[in-house]
Structure 1
Amino acid sequence: MAYSNILETIGKTPLVRLNKTVANVRARVYAKLESFNPGLSAKDRIALHIIERAEQMGRLQPGGTVVDATSGNTGLSLAMVCAWKGYRCVLTVTEKISKDKLNSLRAMGAEVELCPKDAKHDDPRSYVRRAEQLAREIPGAFYANQNFNADNAEAHYLSTGPEIWAETDGQVTWLIGSASTGGTLCGTGRYLREQNPKVKIIAVDAYGSVLKKYHETGIFDESEIGPYQIEGTGKNFIPGNVDFELIDRFVKVTDRESALRTRELARREGILAGYSSGAVLQCLHQIKEQLTPQDVVVLLFADHGSKYISKVFDDEWMKEQGFLPEEEAVEEPAATIANPPHSPKG
């Protein structure tokens, strides 16, 4: 099929069965590979939807500026859409962004401002507050506001959810994905829950994030906030797109285990996925005892591993973090595939 422009290629990403990395998991496990989007992440869906809705509502005029705070993926997607549509793109990011992501943003024409990675949400130096300030200062700016813009979750409700339902022939029973802005997991999950109220929705969180405790207690506990390395997982504030009533459970994973799972995906499945994908796989292994052979589990793999070549796929970086020694501790034992791949129907 020939396309008129790059934006037409967004969505309809493949659902791929995992085998070697889940050999001791009783359920059938599939990964939704959002890296097949042109911007290499799930955020392409929301960038296009948010910008087109802003155009329709008159909030973004020709020649205008799009501003947002991003961990990198949304920024690249916004920059891609802006490049095609002719908008200026101004982004704020935290200093923990990988060099690969930062270079990609600038390559796409985005203007990028680095903000302290440990700044609290209300700190004027935080990447969110700085984006808000820029949106106020730049004439004609549109603040995409992915954390609180309901169009974020709606993009996945309208696309990712229906795709997964169709790809599994309506057999999906578990959905597992990282919680950050909440749009991908909750938009997708809301659609699936409407089709089958019994679908379990599991959110992956990081140590250093406030989301899990808030879900369990309703308390925003600043003592939970701390530095961590996983990108696109967890928050130090409560995003408006996280639907806490929709989510059944939050599961925290460590930086190290998530990094090693990410490397394992590449070496054993041939899937070069991003850091948060390793976090999602680690979460699966932490809850695997709850699964049955009848379950069909879909893991949301949000982005591509090429964005993390200088981090989790760099041995020196891994050693600096203390992650590389004893790598075999979280790897699955070598095994042949007991059950050959087949469709979700079985």
Structure 2
Amino acid sequence: MSNHDILALGAESPLVLIKQLARQIKPKVMAKLEYMNPACSHYYRVASAIILDAEQRNLIHPGMTLVDWTYGDSGIALAMAGLRKGYNLLLVAPDKISREKQELLKALGAETVITPSAALPGEPRSCMNVAESLVKKISNAFFANMYENPIGMEVHRQFTSREIFEQTDGAVTHVFVPMVSGAMISGIGSFFKQKKPSVRIIGVEPEGSIYSGLFREGTPGKTGFYELEEIGAVAPSGLWDSSFIDDIVQVSDYDAFNCGRELLRAESVFAGGSSGAVMAAVLRAGRHYTEDDCVVALMNDFGGFYLSKMYRDEWMKAKGLYRKAKSALDQITAEDILLLKGSKDLIFAYPENTLAEVFEMMKQSDVSQLPIVSYGTPIGSISENRILSILIENDEAMNSKVVGFMEQPFAVCQPGATISDLSSKLQESASGVLIALSDGRLQLLTKSDLIDALTHKQG
């Protein structure tokens, strides 16, 4: 049955395959774009559910003021859900939230109080304490408590989790979740521990957040400043339940922001830094997974809220976080091309082989050129064209050693060489480029291999 409510609880968010960024790891990686909804975050369903629940319990009615503290996204969702139903919005946010979020809250008509990011929970100037104080001072005010409201956990248990399971046809093996409070990860974890207990639930937080220490040692980890928004905490959530969680991993601001920028360029996923942190954690952990694994990464924040921050080179440079973005071609490496081509033993000749022997090798292996190797080092090369020109001049040369007729050796590159680098080398040496593997072996790449890689990427 159709549902025409703009903030409908049943509206699904897309699940998309990550191809380019995940090309060097074996598992299938899927990004669940929780920011693709009217409120541009995973809070849109939570906000509607909290308001609906409070109305049904006669705790609120239009004309009242909804109060909460926010990193921006939860406040935007609450404002969108509340203002259209006749509620006033008063939100308290730390000063590090982006200009775009502040401007959107202003456009929505929500009143915003900005507090120092350095103020910790319990301090009078912290956004949590200020919000709780305002609720007591304002008549007809209701504290929405978006981060700690158990309804949020229930929304993720009923809707987000079910979508992940159904959109992967039950094949999901790992779910990576950004952590602010315990609502999302506990809701998703409780669903899968019942529905499919083998699914591993991994929380992601910034360096300087407390959950990793809480998970491993039972006490909150050491806090520190981080630039990331919509992820991390300096105090434990009341919804924290470690029995639903299999691991907590930390990601630096640097890795999170740059992975977020790469998501946009490589995958057209326009997400924020929190989502970048989750994907960075997936790509790091995915090196230890298998081709049978299906990993889902929760993308919870919208990139459009960070045009003045992580997507602005000047801001990234000023914060010491800037990394030059790779072009589409630079993202394809020799290692990628070899994976696509498949591993085969390199066919090569020794200096003492005769031209007849080398030509027979070429016919047997169906290749048109060979490197000539001495004691594991390429010293030259020979091609069908070269052999043909030799025989035209001297038809008795077939029994001569190849060392006397060899051409320049192929260029040698490392597995990390980009397709642009390889193409340049092939312009210098038209036949091929040798790739020196870490185990000492050599592999040959040709122009045809590069073309195959490019057409495969486009497909």
Is the TM-score greater than 0.5? Answer: yes
| In structure 1, distance between residues paired with 2:245 and 2:193 | 10
Contact 1:11 1:160 in 2 (8 A): no
2:232 maps to 1:239: no
What residue in structure 2 maps to residue 183 of structure 1? 183
Displacement after TM superposition at 1:327 (Å): 5.4
What residue in structure 1 maps to residue 313 of structure 2? 315
Contact 1:3 1:9 in 2 (8 A): no
Larger relative contact order, structure 1 or 2 (CA cutoff 8 Å, min sep 6): 1
| In structure 1, distance between residues paired with 2:271 and 2:147 | 23
- Change in CA separation of 1:285 and 1:332 when aligned onto 2, cut-off 3 Å: farther
Alignment of 1:112-151 (within 5 A): 112-151=112-151
Displacement after TM superposition at 1:5 (Å): 4.0
SS of structure 1 residue aligned to 2:58: coil
How many residues are matched? 337
- Which letter maps to 2:151? D
Alignment of 1:68-217 (within 5 A): 68-217=68-217
| In structure 2, distance between residues paired with 1:205 and 1:5 | 33
What residue in structure 2 maps to residue 292 of structure 1? 290
| In structure 1, distance between residues paired with 2:254 and 2:296 | 23
- Change in CA separation of 1:81 and 1:97 when aligned onto 2, cut-off 3 Å: same
Displacement after TM superposition at 1:4 (Å): 4.1
SS of structure 2 residue aligned to 1:134: helix
- Please list the CA deviations of residues 221-262 of structure 1 after superposition, one character each: whole Å capped at 9, or x if unmatched: 5xx111111111110000112322211111110001100000
What residue in structure 2 maps to residue 28 of structure 1? 28
What residue in structure 1 maps to residue 347 of structure 2? none
| In structure 2, distance between residues paired with 1:332 and 1:292 | 22
Displacement after TM superposition at 1:211 (Å): 1.2
> Which of these two proteins has the greater Rg computed from alpha carbons?
2
Displacement after TM superposition at 1:93 (Å): 0.6
SS of structure 2 residue aligned to 1:20: coil
| In structure 2, distance between residues paired with 1:74 and 1:46 | 9
- Please list the CA deviations of residues 161-195 of structure 1 after superposition, one character each: whole Å capped at 9, or x if unmatched: 11111111111110001111122222123212211
Contact 1:66 1:143 in 2 (8 A): yes
What residue in structure 2 maps to residue 60 of structure 1? 60
Contact 2:8 2:45 in 1 (8 A): no
The sequence identity of aligned pairs, in percent, is 35
- Which letter maps to 2:270? L
RMSD: 2.1
- Change in CA separation of 1:10 and 1:43 when aligned onto 2, cut-off 3 Å: farther
2:32 maps to 1:37: no
Within the candidate set 222, 225, 238, 1:227 is matched to 225
SS of structure 2 residue aligned to 1:21: coil
- Change in CA separation of 1:10 and 1:141 when aligned onto 2, cut-off 3 Å: farther
| In structure 1, distance between residues paired with 2:276 and 2:248 | 16
Displacement after TM superposition at 1:197 (Å): 0.7
**Runs of 4+ displaced beyond 6 Å:** none
Instruction: State TM-score, norm by structure 2.
Output: 0.70
Compare 117-126 and 242-251 and name the one that shifted more. Answer: 242-251
| In structure 2, distance between residues paired with 1:256 and 1:45 | 30
- Which letter maps to 1:274? G
- Change in CA separation of 1:272 and 1:245 when aligned onto 2, cut-off 3 Å: same
Displacement after TM superposition at 1:220 (Å): 2.9
Q: Which runs of 5+ in 2 are unaligned?
A: 341-452
| In structure 1, distance between residues paired with 2:200 and 2:8 | 32
SS of structure 2 residue aligned to 1:29: strand
Contact 1:10 1:37 in 2 (8 A): no
- Which letter maps to 2:289? L
